[in-house]
């Protein structure tokens, strides 16, 4: 029979890790309260609770403006960085993106079909279903890339990076945050 204490000792989920790479980043004043568990270095959307406090939850629509969950980790028991995440009810740091300036590393990514090696100049967008960035060739982007509001440029891969935190990571730069025009409806 299992116990909660036993599970706490043997269960080791791996969460996304990363780094902020811009010298000065803009953040949401006082952060936001997470409405659900969210990994660091993934995209969130913002809202407000009944008390007027900022809230954050995982990005739910690729056409919405995204923000980066990037709360600092506080290590008390020599935990690995991949053990940290933003728990429901906690307040965390939220980074506001600036096109062409905001850069960050993230382990929350996967390669699109046809991508064997990640290289500079590739593109990425956030997949809301899998909660990861999908890295694609610039000349053959993923089917959801064009309809995604939050677009990124790959500016480094793990061969260029000194701090990988034991997981493959990719460095992204915010490329385009323009709202995506709605697709025309047939017959209109």
Secondary-structure percent of the chain, ordered helix, strand, coil, rounded to 5: 5, 35, 60
Q: What is the dihedral of CA 46, 61, 38, 154, to 10 degrees?
A: -100
Q: Which of 24, 32, 17, 29 minimizes the C-alpha distance to 75? A: 17
Q: How many CA atoms lie within 13 A of 81 on its CB side?
A: 17
Instruction: Say if residue 48's pLDDT is above 80.
Output: yes
Question: What tokens appear for 36 in the block?
Answer: 């659900």
Cβ burial 128-158 (10 Å sphere, 16+ → b, else e): beeebbbbbbeeebbebbeebbbbbbbbbbb
Least confident interval from 16-30, 95-109, 122-136: 16-30
The whole-number pLDDT of residue 67 equals 98
* Mean pLDDT, residues 94-107: 94
Radius of gyration of the chain (CA): 17
Q: Tokens 């939220």, residue?
A: 94
Q: Summarize the confidence of residues 31-55 as an average pLDDT.
A: 96
Does residue 1 have a pLDDT over 60?
A: no
Q: Where are the domains of the chain?
A: 11-176
């Amino acid at each position: 029979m299992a116990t909660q204490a036993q599970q706490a000792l043997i269960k080791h989920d791996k969460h996304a890790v990363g780094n902020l790479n811009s010298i000065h980043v803009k953040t949401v004043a006082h952060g936001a309260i997470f409405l659900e568990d969210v990994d660091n270095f993934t995209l969130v959307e913002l809202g407000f609770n009944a008390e007027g406090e900022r809230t954050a939850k995982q990005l739910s629509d690729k056409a919405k403006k995204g923000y980066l969950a990037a709360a600092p980790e506080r290590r008390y028991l020599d935990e690995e960085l991949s053990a940290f995440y933003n728990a429901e009810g906690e307040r965390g740091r939220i980074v506001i993106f600036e096109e062409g300036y905001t850069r960050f590393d993230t382990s929350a990514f996967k390669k699109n079909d046809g991508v064997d090696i990640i290289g500079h100049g590739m593109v990425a967008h956030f997949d809301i279903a899998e909660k990861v960035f999908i890295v694609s060739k610039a000349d053959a982007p993923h089917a959801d890339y064009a309809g995604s509001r939050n677009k990124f440029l790959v500016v480094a891969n793990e061969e260029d990076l000194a701090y990988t935190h034991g997981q493959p990571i990719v460095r992204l730069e915010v490329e385009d945050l323009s709202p995506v025009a709605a697709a025309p409806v047939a017959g209109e």
